[in-house]
Amino acid sequence: MRIVVDANVPAAETCFGELGEVVRVPGRAIDAAALREADALVVRSITRVDEALLADAPRLRFVGTCTIGTDHVDERALAGRGVAFASAPGCNAEAVVDYVLCSLATLAERQGWRLAERRIGIVGVGNVGGRLLERLSAMGIDCLACDPPRVEAENVEAEGAAKLASFADLDTLIDQCDVLCLHTPLVSEGPHATLQLLDAQRIAALAPGSVLLNAGRGDCVDGKALRQRLAGQADISAVLDVWEHEPAIDSGLADLAAIATPHVAGYSLDGKLRGTHQIYRALARHVGLPARLTMDDLAPSPSVARLVLDGGLSPEEVLRLCLRAVYDARRDHDSLHREARRQGVAKGFDACRAAYPLRREFATLAIELLEGARELAPLLSGAGFRVATATA
């Protein structure tokens, strides 16, 4: 079996090598010619899998995307050709939540506010938004959530009503929240369309001092309207990881964003390996072979595995210290701007993704709290770290 795999999929040889011949191809270079003799295709989000790509792939019987999102895959076209399809729901959700927490902590430090004093609105409470809601709530941060499809699907009885108590419509979130985090899929039509969900009118309605963070899909925000608000009134802040027209993103909007990153919020090694492993298991099932490898076989030990903390620092300082011991979103912001200057926006955007440095997730860091820091356990465990208190 010949398996064409995006060159940025980690552990491809380890996982797929026991199922067949692995041929690595850069994601944007995967074309019809590359699939002429392929039996299976494994991609990430930058490869558009559609009729044009499938036109000359008579042997192709399986397509897997090592990502949560599937809007780059024409599932109808695959079904029409009898090609099985699998995605990796939830694989990088923890990494995206890490990105959100680090970005907001960075803005709080720059602008002189405390994260604990802000109300955060979460739009889309699926794999990512649901985890974000859980972590922020565990940290003691006030949240509102918006997810109309989920509200409709829930069985709103006693337990269901309690689950949905913090849910509201989008305009209520805009009116009542200091931070708006978008984590929706891209839905082009229908009663719950998300295309241009944050349109010019809603962007204009954001209160001065608000933060808009988009780590969902770029086309869910009217980029032109956001750029005009940032350039004109300059009274809100934007954290943008996803963009319209990637990789040829709006450089003017990137320059105005407080944090601008090249669609890497979910780019932890752990998240990528989960995606690889989920598609490996799906392909093994498809061909009727056992999946012998586990995630423990793939993930290496973290470079920073343990911190010991005592008193002397404020909760905000401790949180930033721990976050940045694992990941710092400023690195990705600086990298995008540096490579855009060197290579141009589109090439620089892709270069950052292709050469992305090793990044782990907060859960890989164990934090031991000595006597003077024990009261920080709820904050740090809520943020996603493994926390233990030292015995007397």
DSSP code of residue 234: -
Does the annotation flag 98 for ligand binding? no
Does the annotation flag 45 for ligand binding? yes
Residues 6+ apart with CB under 8 A from 83: 54, 60, 61, 62, 63
Catalytic residue selected from 154, 246, 316, 368: 246
Does the annotation flag 64 for ligand binding? no
Q: How far apart are CA 36 and CA 44, in angstroms?
A: 19
* Residue 286: active-site member: no
* Residue 246: active-site member: yes
Does the annotation flag 267 for ligand binding? yes
**Beta-sheet pairing, 2-6 with 40-43:** parallel
Does the annotation flag 184 for ligand binding? yes
Does the annotation flag 266 for ligand binding? yes
CB 152 within 8 A of CB 169: no
Q: How far apart are CA 149 and CA 191, in angstroms?
A: 9
Q: List the beta strands (DSSP E) in the chain.
A: 2-6, 21-25, 40-43, 62-65, 84-86, 120-123, 143-146, 179-182, 211-214, 237-240, 259-260, 306-309, 366-369, 386-389
Catalytic residue selected from 135, 263, 274, 333: 263
Q: How far apart are CA 44 and CA 343, in angstroms?
A: 23
Catalytic residue selected from 217, 229, 277, 281: 217
Does the annotation flag 327 for ligand binding? no
330 exposure class (CB count in 10 Å sphere: 0-12, 13-18, 19+): middle
Q: How far apart are CA 272 and CA 91, in angstroms?
A: 7
Identity of the amino acid at 63: V
CB 306 within 8 A of CB 39: no
Binding residues for substrate: 45, 67, 267
Annotated binding site for NAD(+): 147, 184, 241, 266
Residue numbering of the annotated binding site: 45, 67, 147, 184, 241, 266-267
Catalytic residue list = 217, 246, 263
